[in-house]
Structure 1
Amino acid sequence: MSQNYPNILLIDAIPFQGGSKVATRTLLHELTTEHQLCIFTQTPQSWQGLNARFYPLYMPRWLINKDQGIIYFIKYLLIALQVLLRKPSLGKITLAVGASGPSVDLALYMLKPLLGFTLMQLVHGGVACSKTNARCLLRADSIHYLPSSRASMVAALARYGITDMMFNEPRFTPMLNGLDKSEWPSEALMHSSEPARPVIFWAASLLKWKGLSILNQALQELNASDANFSEQGFSANICYIQPKNIALEYDEPEDDSANIHWFNQPSNLDEMRRQSSIYVSTSQQEPFGLSTLEAMAAGLCVVIPSDASYWDLALIDGANCIKYRPGDSQDLRQKLEHLIKHPQLMISLGRHAMFISRNYHAEQVYLPQLQVIDSYLGAGSSKAQASITGVF
């Protein structure tokens, strides 16, 4: 690869797969290979499909979970030093992309005055209320944030005596997430053939805030309500990501039962989703919800909490989804039982959700971010320059 192409630096400091990585990978996939990506990561498999040079990211075990105090700064200083040691092979870095939020991308802010790159910060979730995060937000050349993260950024900036008027600056840009056409989920089989029985589908990490225990309790209540119903009425596939080396609390996977099956990051996730009928989200205040969007794109009937999160505000109960009271396993059980007993409603809601998903093609929703990247690189060679022909 020619060194004449602009280099983009990305530091992936999260040791397991997650929504922010998937969203960032999808965004970067919309760039052509004329941009050389340099990714420091512990999980290169998270970035499959990108034309990139990968560099191993070393982190001592005793530092991995440190997110506060002086040790937190030492942790990210060590990451920054690893980039500096690789500088001869990296070449000139034109742009650095913060792939999660300022507290996770702190090493980039340490490197910015030394390497002189432009820093584009993506914010995929809440920002901790700290002066460090406020200083990072002030130093970033542009910030592209999910609307759900704005309130937390306002609170962080207030710690530095700055009001939300700063969001009127052009460098603050709200964003949504989308799906790449090449990775668009396969349509659920229930739209082309009568399902033998409904299959409930759940896909997320086991972090406590993902709320798996709520679904687990609802499923146990469904099974306890009627033995014949549990054996003939439904099955459930729980697809999970096991968090690694983090300080946050998480649930533990359970053993399979007669109709509830657990899968650790299955390689055939698309096929499992295709064979499903109902998708359940149990996340608490999900910043966006890529798994929900993927389920909608597949035509599953989506069941979500009514918690004022993104999809709660975007979807209509009874028209293109089913909503339940947040944290209420009994209400979730009742909604699931109603759908299982009324399969045509389940199919209709899934079809309407699938129609909504067509507004979330990556080349459309990431167009503002692609144009900003082009302006930084002076490349003019990303797919943002291609005409947008609408949904398929």
Structure 2
Amino acid sequence: MAKINKTLVFDPIPFKGGSKIATSDALTCSSTQLHQFVVLSVTPDYWESTDFYAKHDVSVIRLFHSGWLIKHHNGPLYWLNQLTLLVQLFFVLCLQGKITKIVGASGPGIDMPLYLAKRLFSFELIQMIHGNVGCSRSIGYCLTNADSVFYLPSARPSMKTALITYLSSLNNIADTEHIAECYLKSANYQSFVNGIPEHRWPTQSEQSLPIFFWSASLLKWKGLDLFIQAARIASTFKPLAMNICFIRPKQTCLPISEAPINLNRHTQWYDDPSNLDEIRANSNIFVSTSVNEPFGLSILEALAAGMCVILPQDGAFWDQQLEHNVNCIKYQPNDPESLSNALLLAAHDPLLCQLCQTHALDIAKQFKAEYRYMKFAQCLNGAGVTHLVSSLDHS
């Protein structure tokens, strides 16, 4: 009989976002026979609604947190928050018996308690990184002590900077840039891009009339204000029908856009709707307004739904993957006039929209989760990766 691994998933993020969805999708790709999972999360309701929870042996434990402390990203109050999370993690590790692996679902700066616990407990630490990491010695330390690191390619430069920052603080390290590259090129570090599992593949958009769809959190950098400004400009030439879905972030010190607001009678607002897939299927033009998105899971979902995608020409992942007027429509980032022109182009040129929609699905088929998360699933299932040579171990 195959050995059952007891794996803990650590999730201290207080709101649902693309990284949390991507993590649950990746975990779903692991074997249902080899694992018993424990999810320690501040959002247990989210995990209990996932396909991962339905198909795997998963128990969910609530992680309590301070909405005040979680807003601090450095200094004494940051470390106080990490200490409160560490105490809870400590009790869970003691009560759950032998935990063989722990998945850090958010990034080393947020998953810091795992690295503190690693000094007291014996487990394999698998770190997922869904965006840029901070430039600090402590994060660099974490990156040198994780057993496996799975990261989006856009995060690599910031990871290298954090590694150099930590390695430079060690007296016996001379060429820190070379050593940082050695870490990043080792088998312990694996880049990945997100995918969509079969069970979550979006319903195909059947809408023929131009209906625009925007979906993201209300964090300012996601660009809802830009979309509203551009839509108002475009509406002076042609009324636009729009479905706007938003998630209101909790316990954050980052700027947040206001929603809903009064636009026109053709605009529908949805606050974290449970029928997001249905709303997307009843639209046919997806608008992305966040600049330098580390990946853009919502863009992939729109492509998979066969939508015409409008996105900024910002050099980010999807800007590099997609071609203007072939499988998407592009505009100049943070430019409401340019975005307005893109909206009007999509509204007035149905043939171009249909061309983009046809090609969109061909692109999306290359991003099936079962393939994109294969290495992560193999690592969870026990395939493992080659450990860094001892000469690189400065812990």
Counterparts of 2:347 and 2:67 in 1: how far apart (Å)?
46
Task: Give the secondary structure class of the aligned counterpart of 1:176.
Answer: coil
Task: Give the secondary structure class of the aligned counterpart of 1:86.
Answer: helix
Cα deviation digits, residues 130-150 of structure 1 (max 9, x gap): 111100000001111101000
User: 1:56 aligns to what?
Assistant: 62
User: 1:304 aligns to what?
Assistant: 311
User: Does residue 25 of the first structure (1) align with residue 24 of the second (2)?
Assistant: yes
Cα deviation digits, residues 208-257 of structure 1 (max 9, x gap): 1111111110111122x23xx21xxx301110110000121111212343
User: 2:272 aligns to what?
Assistant: 265
User: 2:43 aligns to what?
Assistant: 43
Counterparts of 2:158 and 2:260 in 1: how far apart (Å)?
34
User: Does residue 204 of the first structure (1) align with residue 211 of the second (2)?
Assistant: no
User: 1:390 aligns to what?
Assistant: none
Cα deviation digits, residues 333-355 of structure 1 (max 9, x gap): 10110111111211210110111
Task: Give the secondary structure class of the aligned counterpart of 1:251.
Answer: coil
Quick check: 2:30–2:378 contact (8 Å CA) kept in 1?
Answer: no
Please give the TM-score of this superposition, normalised by the length of structure 2.
0.89
Counterparts of 2:67 and 2:241 in 1: how far apart (Å)?
39
Cα deviation digits, residues 309-354 of structure 1 (max 9, x gap): 0000111111111110000011011011011111121121011011
User: 1:389 aligns to what?
Assistant: none
**Aligned counterpart in structure 2 of residue 356 of structure 1, from 363, 388, 395:** 363
User: 1:219 aligns to what?
Assistant: 231
Quick check: 2:89–2:113 contact (8 Å CA) kept in 1?
Answer: no
Aligned residue-pair number: 366
User: Does residue 168 of the first structure (1) align with residue 185 of the second (2)?
Assistant: yes
Give the % identical residues.
39
Please give the TM-score of this superposition, normalised by the length of structure 1.
0.90
Counterparts of 1:32 and 1:153 in 2: how far apart (Å)?
30
Give runs of aligned pairs for residues 1-392 of structure 1, distance below 5 A.
5-34=4-33, 35-47=35-47, 48-49=50-51, 50=53, 51=56, 52-160=58-166, 161=168, 162-163=176-177, 164-166=180-182, 167-190=184-207, 195=208, 197-223=209-235, 225-226=236-237, 229-230=238-239, 234-256=240-262, 257-375=264-382
Quick check: 1:99–1:123 contact (8 Å CA) kept in 2?
Answer: yes
Aligned-pair CA distance for 1:42: 1.7
Cα deviation digits, residues 276-320 of structure 1 (max 9, x gap): 110010012100000000000000000110001000011111111
Aligned-pair CA distance for 1:45: 2.6
Counterparts of 2:257 and 2:101 in 1: how far apart (Å)?
38
Aligned-pair CA distance for 1:377: 7.7
Quick check: 1:148–1:287 contact (8 Å CA) kept in 2?
Answer: yes
Counterparts of 2:126 and 2:290 in 1: how far apart (Å)?
28
Quick check: 2:153–2:192 contact (8 Å CA) kept in 1?
Answer: yes
Amino acid at match of 1:111: A
Aligned-pair CA distance for 1:88: 4.2
Cα deviation digits, residues 76-104 of structure 1 (max 9, x gap): 11111112223343121111111121001
Counterparts of 2:384 and 2:132 in 1: how far apart (Å)?
28
Task: Give the secondary structure class of the aligned counterpart of 2:379.
Answer: helix
Amino acid at match of 1:17: K
User: 2:392 aligns to what?
Assistant: none
Counterparts of 2:233 and 2:162 in 1: how far apart (Å)?
42
Counterparts of 1:333 and 1:85 in 2: how far apart (Å)?
54
Counterparts of 1:120 and 1:87 in 2: how far apart (Å)?
16
Change (3 A) 1:377 1:152: closer
Counterparts of 2:300 and 2:259 in 1: how far apart (Å)?
24
Amino acid at match of 1:53: S
Cα deviation digits, residues 152-178 of structure 1 (max 9, x gap): 111111212332422121111111100
User: 1:382 aligns to what?
Assistant: none
Quick check: 1:134–1:159 contact (8 Å CA) kept in 2?
Answer: yes
User: 1:384 aligns to what?
Assistant: none
Amino acid at match of 2:63: L
Change (3 A) 1:377 1:36: farther
Quick check: 1:93–1:115 contact (8 Å CA) kept in 2?
Answer: no
Counterparts of 1:145 and 1:367 in 2: how far apart (Å)?
14
Task: Give the secondary structure class of the aligned counterpart of 2:370.
Answer: helix
Counterparts of 2:265 and 2:281 in 1: how far apart (Å)?
21
Change (3 A) 1:61 1:277: closer
The RMSD of aligned alpha carbons is: 1.8
Aligned-pair CA distance for 1:64: 2.5
Task: Give the secondary structure class of the aligned counterpart of 2:382.
Answer: helix
Counterparts of 1:102 and 1:286 in 2: how far apart (Å)?
19
Quick check: 1:17–1:46 contact (8 Å CA) kept in 2?
Answer: yes
Counterparts of 2:318 and 2:354 in 1: how far apart (Å)?
19
Amino acid at match of 2:41: T
Quick check: 2:115–2:142 contact (8 Å CA) kept in 1?
Answer: yes
